[in-house]
Amino acid sequence: MTFDTRAFRSALGSFPTGVAVITTQASAERHLGITVNSFASVSLDPPLVLWCMDKKSDRHHVFTNATCYTVSILGTDHQEVSSRLAKQGSHSLEGIALRDTDLGPPALEDALAVFECEAETIHDAGDHTILIGRVIRFARQEHGAPLVFFRGRYGALASNAPD
């Protein structure tokens, strides 16, 4: 039996997700970021989260070798930043509104929530690597609408959804 990978990918896109940007330090002076929708919570105690990284990404080695990274949960105002950091080879955070974190990798300004993570484990998983992070510090905003990804497109929650 042949497995239609393209159709599989489209079917997975029927699961609506939020969007996050993960940032880490690439060199002494340089941070970079990547847009992901594979972010998920794992454990409350200890506090663990995960995300998955495509092995084909040219950022794969940087993130899988990172000792820490910061997860910023995006709001609807972040759509442009999300598109930019999803472009192949477009890693730079230059010109993006950022704020400092204690661990180092910057968070996106006005993120709905921020999770500062130390790398806990990585797991080989087919054409992706699963990265599990231990949350050292976190913050959240009370208000703001989440950026949503569904069927390959950006969207937002319906206007009657709770803020």
Ligand X SMILES: Cc1cc2nc3c(=O)[nH]c(=O)nc-3n(C[C@H](O)[C@H](O)[C@H](O)COP(=O)(O)O)c2cc1C
Binding site for ligand X (CB under 6 A): 19, 34-38, 51-54, 57-59, 86, 88-89, 149
Contacting residues for 123 by C-beta, under 8 A, at least 6 apart = 129, 130, 132
Report the C-alpha gap between 162 and 42 in whole angstroms: 24
- Smaller CB separation from ligand X, 104 or 155: 155
The nearer residue to ligand X, 88 or 160, going by C-beta atoms, is 88
CB of 49 to ligand X, least distance (A): 13
The CB-of-120 to ligand X minimum distance in angstroms stands at 18
Q: Is the dihedral of CA 30, 99, 76, 150 positive or negative?
A: positive
Cβ nearer to ligand X, comparing 114 with 131: 131
Half-sphere exposure of 51 (CA within 13 A, CB side): 29
Alpha carbon distances (Å) from 54 to 21, 44, 129: 15, 26, 7
Between 63 and 98, CB nearer to ligand X: 63
CB of 48 to ligand X, least distance (A): 17
Residues 109, 94: Cα–Cα separation, whole Å: 13
Q: Scanning the structure block, which residue is given the tokens 């993130």?
A: 63
Rounded to a whole number of angstroms, the minimum distance from the CB of residue 80 to ligand X is 12
Give me the least distance between CB of 90 and ligand X, in Å please.
7
Q: Is 157 exposed, middle or buried (0-12, 13-18, 19+ CB in 10 A)?
A: middle
Closest CB to ligand X among 19 and 113?
19
